[in-house]
Amino acid sequence: MQGPMNLTRFIYETQKAFPTATGDFSAILNQIALAAKIVSLEVNRAGIMEDVLGYQGEVNASGDAQKKLDVIADNVFFNALEHIEKFCIMGSEENEQPVKLPAQYKKGRYAILFDPLDGSSNIDFNVSIGTIFSVYRRVTPEGGDGTLQDLLQPGYKQVAAGYVLYGSSTMMTFTTGQGVNMFTLDPQIGEFILTHPDIRIPDTTRYYSINEGNSANWDEKLATYVDSLKTEDNIHGKVLSGRYIGSMVADVHRTLLGGGFFAYPSDRVNTSGKLRLMYEANPMAMIIEQAGGRAIYGEGDILGIIPRDLHQKVPVYLGSKRDIDALQKAVFGK
């Protein structure tokens, strides 16, 4: 009998297929999985902790609790990754500046960016949230500390990207440039098990995903396109259902498995949208493209953007190739 394909075995077998592999990625992915398990536990306990400590109902309780979890998750990821000597510099959505690694550790060949708890305003409502990560090969000379230059690379240079979804189950999805694989945490044994190998984003869908609360500020062409999804006059030839969680990891996860598109466009108020290029858009774009989909900012691909700032925002439209092709043609004339 073949045992379950747990994450460690998957990494080991994938590594065997590349005789020149150094094992760096194995260490990185295993430590990300460890951090994800710890954050998953914290997220699951968040509601109880609030009740037990009697914070509920206090004016700032929700805001504080949410901030606390953001900081906890940030520390958990940092602590899991700082000592493995695979990185030369880190970037966290929680920190304005690049994060240097402690002096006592050797500096490695990679740079990592992570958003430790994306969608955290949803915590109060027990809605799914997630962690997003993105890995680059360093471009500064090996040996010493990395710099901003190692982090500020275009998305097509990512060597790995992934997310962890803390939902009704905890799932870890990642790509190292050879397709996308998804693992589900078995809470009984504390292991991530491969449940969705080599995911391909479907061509057909029942859904579209965008915050229609902002539609009064949208470009007219986008409004017209989204309206067409509520009639049969669209590429799917049927009325679609709107699904919008407001937690990018959860919305992209559904899009990856269920097709269609997820968008956070620019509008008259948010002229570059809301999502961060380095922490949210690039890693999700790599995953979606590796699964056969497309991810654009408008006229061009997200992965081609030359970044200028660690926290810069970018409009995002990603999903099934057919849907993004149609949206790009209708809204951006390309």
Stretch that binds ligand AFP, among 6-14, 119-127, 142-150, 290-298 (CB under 6 A): 119-127
Question: Does the active-site annotation cover 94?
Answer: yes
Nearest approach, Cβ of 246 to ligand AFP (angstroms)? 4
In the complex with ligand AFP, the residue whose CB is nearer, 63 or 187, is: 63
How many amino acids of this chain bind ligand AFP (CB under 6 A)? 13
Of 56, 121, 169, 271, which lies in the binding site for ligand AFP, with binding defined by CB under 6 A? 121
Which residue shows structure tokens 């027990």? Answer: 126
In the complex with ligand AFP, the residue whose CB is nearer, 147 or 211, is: 211
Binding of residue 323 to ligand AFP (CB under 6 A) = no
Residue 166's nearest CA partner among 112, 247, 95 is 247
Binding of residue 265 to ligand AFP (CB under 6 A) = no
260 neighbors 206 (Cβ within 8 angstroms): yes
Binding of residue 47 to ligand AFP (CB under 6 A) = no
Binding of residue 119 to ligand AFP (CB under 6 A) = yes
Binding of residue 211 to ligand AFP (CB under 6 A) = yes
Binding of residue 94 to ligand AFP (CB under 6 A) = no
Q: Which of 24, 115, 150, 289 is catalytic?
A: 115
Name, in order, each residue with C-beta under 8 angstroms of 135's C-beta and a sequence gap of 6 or more.
Answer: 28, 110, 111, 112, 113, 158, 159, 160, 161
Binding of residue 118 to ligand AFP (CB under 6 A) = yes
In the complex with ligand AFP, the residue whose CB is nearer, 140 or 217, is: 217
Stretch that binds ligand AFP, among 37-45, 76-84, 178-186, 247-255 (CB under 6 A): 247-255
In the complex with ligand AFP, the residue whose CB is nearer, 37 or 274, is: 274
Of 7, 248, 286, 296, which lies in the binding site for ligand AFP, with binding defined by CB under 6 A? 248
Nearest approach, Cβ of 99 to ligand AFP (angstroms)? 19
Binding of residue 91 to ligand AFP (CB under 6 A) = no
Question: Does the active-site annotation cover 219?
Answer: no
Q: Which of 29, 69, 117, 151 is catalytic?
A: 117
Q: Could you tell me the CA-to-CA distances from 327 to 83, 233, 279, 332 in Å, in that order? A: 44, 13, 24, 8
- Taking the C-alpha atoms of residue 297 and residue 92, their distance in angstroms, rounded to an integer, is 22
Of 154, 246, 258, 307, which lies in the binding site for ligand AFP, with binding defined by CB under 6 A? 246
Q: Which of 50, 74, 118, 251 is catalytic?
A: 118
Question: Does the active-site annotation cover 74?
Answer: no
Of 153, 158, 247, 290, which lies in the binding site for ligand AFP, with binding defined by CB under 6 A? 247
Q: Write out the two tokens for 143.
A: 């040996």
Question: Does the active-site annotation cover 267?
Answer: no
- Taking the C-alpha atoms of residue 72 and residue 66, their distance in angstroms, rounded to an integer, is 10
Q: Which of 70, 150, 267, 323 is catalytic?
A: 70
Residues of this chain that interact with ligand AFP (CB under 6 A) are: 118-122, 211, 246-248, 251, 264, 274-275
* Catalytically active residues, by annotation: 64, 70, 93-94, 115, 117-118, 280
